[in-house]
Every structure is written in structure tokens, then in C-alpha cells.
Amino acid sequence: MDFRPLVIKIGGSVLERLHSSFFQECGQLMEQGYHPVVIHGGGPEISRIQKRLGLSARFVDGLRMTDDEGLKVVEMVLAGRINKSLIARFWAFQVSVVGISGADGGLLQVKPKDPALGWVGEMTAVHPRLLCNLWESGWIPVVASLGLDDSGNLYNVNADTAAGAIARELAAERLILVTDVPGIWKREGEVKKFLSQVTPEQVQKMIQSGEIAGGMIPKVRAALTGLEAARCGVLITDGSIPGCLGSETGTRIVKEATSDDVVPHLSTK
């Protein structure tokens, strides 16, 4: 059997507005012989709960500064509320999913990224054995982005970063970053124009110029990590539109500028 891994990341920004076809498409992709793994974020919900608890939410380059109290909130929200509500939504469409975190099976091994960020993990290794075991038994893994260091400490891992590292480790066929905008925009005067494709050089320039900002920074960095795996096509797409996985509308991150139809579409039929 061909190994056809697909890494699909759902941003917290779009969780509540995900089109119902998204769940069905994930199930169809599994039936078509792909091996999908879903990684999810939950940044807005973490910030909401922090605020309710009187804790502040602060970010550096799109990464949350995570102190002891912040980490507890991250664990509860990502591995608890969000992971389980996603499992329930998949289940409603009869899609066979298992919810895990990046700490389970040692999937995401990390070290501290920067002392100033607290419990934010930087990926040192990805151990995909649990993912393979789940696929073999017919399950789609749904992963909350927590990591573990060598001493058994839990860390907050940006979900885009986790998805990029998993895509690279698996040499995924696709990395699809599902978010609340239809790709990367470029300002032309007052108008935001969405780009159909960008190269790593363009992405670097857009980060430096500030055209790519906030949560889009870890997302495009993850896209570049995914692109390091030879066969990985990378797409940033809007999860609120119908059929976002199969139609592949959005911004493609490509090693070199290509004609738009070079990458074959995923078959969900």
C-alpha cells in the first residue's frame, strides 16, 4: 500500500466557522487511500479563557508568551475543550477520528525556544509511530499542539510550527494550512489582493516589509518547513468555504514560480 501522508492544520481562527464539507472531505481522503493527520490550534479560545481568568495574552512574532499559569490554560483548552469538540464534530459525519496531543506517543519532542517566551517549545524531533499505528487501524489522528521535552515537561507549541515539522518528517504529499483568510494577501493601495502562489524568497521579503504579520508569520514559516520535504505541496486556504481541501483554492507556497495547474488536485471523490 502506498504511503500518502497529508498534513492538515486547522487554525483557531476558523474553528467555529469550518464548513461542514471539511469534515466529510477528511473522511473521503482517508477512503481514497491518503493518510491524513489533522493538527489544530486554538489561539483565540486560549486568549478568551486567559482574559476570563484575569491573565494577559502577549505575543512575540505570533508566538504566545507562556508562563506557568498560561501553560495550564493552553493544556486545558487545546487538549481538552478544542480537541474533544473537534472529535465530536468529525463523529457527527461518521469520520473515524482519535484525538491525541503532541505529547502522546512522544509525537512532538521539543526544547525551550527562548527563555523570554517561557513554556514555548521548539521542535527537536517528530516521532510519528503513533500516527502510523492509528492509520493502520483506520483512524485519522487529530492532534493538539503540545510537546514534551526530554525531562517530561509539557510545552505550548504553535500549531502551524507543529504541522510544518510533521509534514517534513513524513515527507507529506501535502501540507494544507486551513485558516480564516483565502491565502496570503498583498496590499495594492487600499485593496488587498490574494496571491495564488508565492516563493520562499517572496515570503521572506514580505515578512521583512511587514506585509506578512501576526499569526501569518508562523504559518508561512511552517509552510517553508513543509516545503523542505521534496514531495510536499503547501497550501494556505480558507476553511469556511465549501470543499477547501479538494478544490485547493488559496495561496500555494512553491519552490519556484510555476503555472498554476502543475500540482494535481487531491482526489476527494
Ligand X SMILES: Nc1ncnc2c1ncn2[C@@H]1O[C@H](COP(=O)(O)OP(=O)(O)O)[C@@H](O)[C@H]1O
> Exactly one of 219, 226, 238, 250 is catalytic; which is it?
219
Q: Is residue 57 within 8 Å of 104, Cβ to Cβ?
A: no
Burial of 231 (0-12, 13-18, 19+ CB in 10 A): exposed
- Residue 213 binds what, of ligand X, ligand X2W, none (CB under 5 to 8 Å, by partner type)? ligand X
Least distance from ligand X to the Cβ atom of residue 154, Å:
21
Written as nine digits, the cell of 212 is 506578512
- 233 in active site: no
Is residue 82 involved in binding ligand X2W (CB under 6 A)? no
CA 20 and chain centroid, separation: 18
Judged by CB under 6 A, the residue of 27, 36, 43, 233 near ligand X is 43
Which of the listed partners (ligand X2W, ligand X, none) does 14 bind, with a CB threshold of 5 to 8 Å by partner kind? ligand X
Beta-carbon contacts of residue 73 (< 8 Å; ≥ 6 apart): 46, 49, 50, 53, 55
Report the amino acid identity of residue 42: G
Distances in Å between the Cα of 4 and the Cα atoms of 30, 112, 205 are: 10, 32, 32
State which of residues 213, 242, 258, 265 lies at the interface with ligand X (CB under 6 A): 213
In whole angstroms, how close is the CB of 264 to ligand X at the nearest point? Answer: 25
- Binding-site residue total for ligand X2W (CB under 6 A)? 16
The yes or no reply on residue 252 touching ligand X (CB under 6 A) is no
Interacting residues with ligand X (CB under 6 A): 11-14, 41, 43, 160, 179-181, 184-185, 211-216, 219
